[in-house]
Chain A
Amino acid sequence: MTYRFRDLLALEPLTADELSFLLDQSKPFQEIQRHPLKKLATLRGKTVALAFFENSTRTRISFGTAASRLGADTMNLQAEASSIKKGETLLDTAFNLNAMKPDCLVMRHSASGATDYVARHLDIPVVNAGDGTHEHPSQGLLDALTIRDRLGTIKNLNVTILGDILHSRVARSNIHLLGKFGCRFTLCGPSIWVPPELEKIAPGTEIRCVYGMEEALEDTHVIMMLRVQTERLNDPPLSANDYILLYQLNAERLRRANCDAIVLHPGPINRGIEITPDVADGPQSCVLEQVTNGVAVRMAILYLLISGASESGTHPALEAKPKESANASD
């Protein structure tokens, strides 16, 4: 099996086999995160352009770390330092970056579809590091990897997503990935953030919208928290106090879920708003594993797209750890 796409723009068009392949490819890179020496030479001489047209800390650092651990160099563009404010169009900025001859463009943008749009015009692989409220594919993959490590499978789970789903690219990528493995989704949050149209965004996947936490957590295996993203809204439609009253994940509410249920959060966490500190730091929380897995997943993505775009090289992690990488679950 190989990855058949030039870019990674969204998880929606990928099949379960392709998604499994991406997850399996991430596994050896997870191993590398545990090594004392984490740097490989696989992409030595290659350059990854990181273009973040929207603020980001962890995703940008995660992709940057992934590139550098593969031996690649990075070029950094951040919106506030860019010429966007001088009136240059997105496409012109992309063409200029491309003229510096990177081997791959990792891009985040506040407009949904902006990465698709840029990818249509560039001849190098483009990785979507989050486009508006559409998708965040690497986050979906790292979440799935985390779930698979903790629960042993990503098949047929009950997954509850809590918060502002309407404006969440993380939720969409997770639905499109886990849905293809038979997971059932319960989406819960204030009704303005959880419109019933969400039930139909992934035909073939069972999705229901509910508005009470207790019902949403009943018998669930995976709880995905979302940050309350006030900056995405014209006006915050709910008071923080009301949100806490209705939708904060606390220890008592967590008991409604399966006893071995896990809690994910893409970060950054608003402690005391959507989640209480005891839950965020508790044994069911996977928050920091998600961050570690993020580097592994992004190494796999960069490796596949860049080496796939040139010629097929030896899998770097196969060199590093030949035996363990062969066993992939799911």
Chain B
Amino acid sequence: MLLIKNGRVIDPASKTDAAIDVLLDGEKIKEVAPVGKIAAPQDVEVFDATGLIVAPGFIDLHAHLREPGQESSETIETGTRAAARGGFTAVCCMPNTKPVNDNASVTRFILDRAKTTGSVRVWPIGAASMGSKGEAIAEIAGMKEAGIVAVSDDGKPIATAKLARQVMEYCRSLDLTVIEHAEDVSLACGAVMREGVTSTRLGLRGMPAAAESVCVARDVQLAELTGARLHIAHLSARASLEQVRWAKSRKLRVSCEVTPHHFTLIDEDVAYDSHFKMNPPLASREDRKALIEGLADGTIDAIATDHAPHEPALKDVEFDRAPFGILGFETALALALEQLVATGRVSLMRMVELFTTGPARVLGVERKIATGQVADLTIFSLDQTWTYNVKESVSKSRNSPFDGRRFKGGPVATIVAGRIVERRG
């Protein structure tokens, strides 16, 4: 048994923000009571959370663990250790591995590896189409039986409107969320950053914001047509956000996520450093402002990292040739505290929601601190200062634009199924 005592519990599901002790017994929460009121057995392990926040376990809806197939960039072992260090108790891994997770045997392989080598829960996302090629629908029912939590052709959009419609109809009947990487590939063709003054000045090929919002518009229309649960991944543009607002105003089952790098950095920060190259690319100043408003007002449902490790040999090339993507796990919470909470734009309760109940709702699962619930908790600090040194990362890759950044507040302990899997200091 593990007693988390003297902490400040923030539980969005019950709107609780109070000094509460939590007793964990194996994989479940056994008791939740005001500080000092739990009569724990003598031999209980105690975690003193004085001065710390105790939250439900964080869920990352969007990550790339690279196994199977690209183990030189990341494995389920190293990726989940980095996730644990970042305070995540569950990560959803995208299916663009080699081979693509488009059938039950790949799903089972991922879950087996997670069981034997993983530090946190791994929730696989299955491909929407075979090989994510946008032709035939993947073996979604088989993957669901094996344990996927959603489907996506992430890395690219579901290729055609027709296929997107069919996938949505099929997934509605299977009660699975369709996660869309929204991008009109013909508009984005060959681009390496967001189109704007900076791309024009640097002479880098830019994609317009419309490359994303055109696809979001297509998909919310299809969500209305099919009644499916649709989730827009790594939303970056104001215009896309307005599409989601429209969908929500129509009571469609549409949700969206935003990454820490999109609410922190903008296209003006790009200067031929491939650690600033990701897809969708860093957006405009105005987009970033709109995203922060969307995070505050509830239009955005979740913060997701899009953790995308690439080994140095792949990333250390000309900007044009570098693959898209950056690390995300270890800096996500600290960036949210820095950009959203410390600035007063988002309440602490709301921020915790964006990491917990928000993503849980997208997947149709529960997440709260209450008796009988899973014993997954994220414990973090609001004031401990630390510096992110990417060379010390437990990830196999080093592609972060936040190397050397000083933070105030961040993860302190990660508890999965009643066990402390990561503890700082």
Contact = CB atoms under 8 A, between A and B. Distances in A.
Given A91-B316, A132-B320, A113 B197 contact: no
Interface in B310-332: 313, 316-321
Contact of B197 (A114, A135, A167, A200): A200
Contacts of A112: 202-204, 272, 319-320
B364 interface: no
Nearest to A171: B203
B270 to A, nearest CB: 10
Contacts of B316: 89, 91
Interface string A80-117: 00000000011100000000000000000111111011
Contacts of B317: 89-91
A277 interface: no
A: interface residue count bin = 20 to 34
Contact of A132 (B201, B203, B271): B203
A113 B321 contact: no
Contacts of B320: 110-114, 132
Contacts, number: 66
B196 A197 contact: yes
Nearest to A132: B203
Contact of A198 (B189, B200, B202, B272): B200
B190 interface: yes
B124 to A, nearest CB: 33
**Tier of interface size on chain B:** 20 to 34
Interface in A107-131: 109-114, 116-117, 131
Q: Taking each of B195, B200, B203, B321, which has the highest tally of chain A beta carbons within 10 Å of its own beta carbon?
A: B203
Contact of B204 (A12, A91, A113, A201): A113
B203 A116 contact: no
A109 B203 contact: no
A91 B317 CA distance: 7
A166 interface: yes
A20 to B, nearest CB: 23
Contact of A117 (B201, B313, B319): B319
A223 to B, nearest CB: 22
Taking each of B189, B197, B200, B205, which has the highest tally of chain A beta carbons within 10 Å of its own beta carbon? B200
A111 B319 contact: yes
A135 B200 contact: no
A85 B316 CA distance: 18
B272 A116 contact: yes
A195 interface: yes
Interface in B178-228: 189-190, 195-197, 199-205
Interface in B285-340: 313, 316-321
Interface string B160-190: 0000000000000000000000000000011
A187 to B, nearest CB: 11
Nearest to A176: B201
User: Which has the most chain B C-beta neighbours within 10 Å: A90, A135, A172, A201?
Assistant: A201
Interface of B: 189-190, 195-197, 199-205, 271-272, 313, 316-321
13 contacts: A89-B313, A109-B318, A110-B320, A112-B204, A112-B319, A134-B202, A166-B200, A167-B203, A197-B196, A197-B200, A198-B200, A201-B200, A234-B189
